[in-house]
Amino acid sequence: MRVSTATPTVAELITDALRTAAAEVEATEPAALADEPDGVHQQRVRVRRLRSVLAGFGPLLDDEEVERLRVRFHEWGGDLGVVRDIEVRVAVAEDAIERAGVDDERVSERLVDSERRAYAGAHARLVEIARSARAAERTRQLREFVAAPAIMAEDAEATAMVAVVLRAQARRVRKAIGRLDASEESYHDVRKAARRMRYVAEAIARAAPEMYATQVADLADAGDALHDALGGHRDAVLFAESVARAAIHAARAGEPAEAYGRIEAQARREAAGYLRELPHALGKLRRAASALR
């Protein structure tokens, strides 16, 4: 969806961004609940996009209502995350076992089959949550909000507002980068900030594609690069930790544990490889942010 004018007003751009994000959340929920391929992932992405749009344009919206919606969809995103994280672990484990050349049913049982059973239970719980009164209230609140959002400076042209919003998102990422201390928590903070910057930039690009087109595209690309590098690193580290735990349980059960050590070492090498992509991604961010000054 695009706004109708070449230079939209603040209200036109924000309303379009909100309605598009909300519509995508509703459109992707049925596939997630039906457990269609990639369904949970796509719903989780759309929920994150919605929360990013709410946060990015939050200073121009009703603070109380925005916070209420962000909390509600943070909860739902967390519920989706439980299921999606298991799904990712299964995919990562299958690939890692194959690449490590491990052919042991006991390893597959601990790293793959047990996770698949956990996934079935977690998805069933997700469906229960989605059918609750709280979920229905969440949907109602979102529909009411996007139908008539209270927007400040709504009649002003959106050009200046877009620059302010984008600079704020880039500044948020840079602050998170400044707090990097090699801890997983600090890497995760950068990843979240980069993801929000990307989603806000993409929302602007869809609503007003002619506005700051190059800068918006560059910021979205920088956010994507940071998110991919740090997301891959996080997945590899979490998988390595789960393999280490599985190795302990296998040893206690009297099973050979050598294969787990190989798989864990492989995962940790890959985690380090993702971090080597970080300087390039940070360079993209600096170049994109400087173009907005």
**55 falls within a domain:** yes
Count of domains for the chain = 1
Per-residue pLDDT at 265 exceeds 90 = yes
150 phi-psi bin (left φ>0, alpha ψ -120 to 50, beta other): beta
- What average pLDDT does this structure show over 223-247? 94
Query: What is the per-residue pLDDT for 289?
Result: 77
**292 falls within a domain:** no
Query: What is the per-residue pLDDT for 293?
Result: 61
Query: What is the per-residue pLDDT for 14?
Result: 96
Over residues 175-207, the pLDDT tens digits come to: 999 999 989 999 999 999 999 999 999 999 999
**25 falls within a domain:** yes
Distance CA 1, CA 55 (A): 20
* Domain carrying residue 49: 10-286
Over residues 22-69, the pLDDT tens digits come to: 999 999 999 999 999 999 999 999 999 999 999 999 999 988 999 999
Q: How confident is the model at residue 17 (pLDDT cuts 50, 70, 90)?
A: very high
**What residues contact 136, with CB distance under 8 A and at least 6 apart?**
none
Q: At residue 133, what is the residue type?
A: A
**175 falls within a domain:** yes
CATH number of the domain that residue 269 is part of: 1.40.20.10
With CA atoms as reference, report the closest residue to 21 among 55, 56, 47. 47
pTM score > 0.75 for this model?
A: yes
Over residues 155-173, the pLDDT tens digits come to: 999 999 999 999 999 999 9
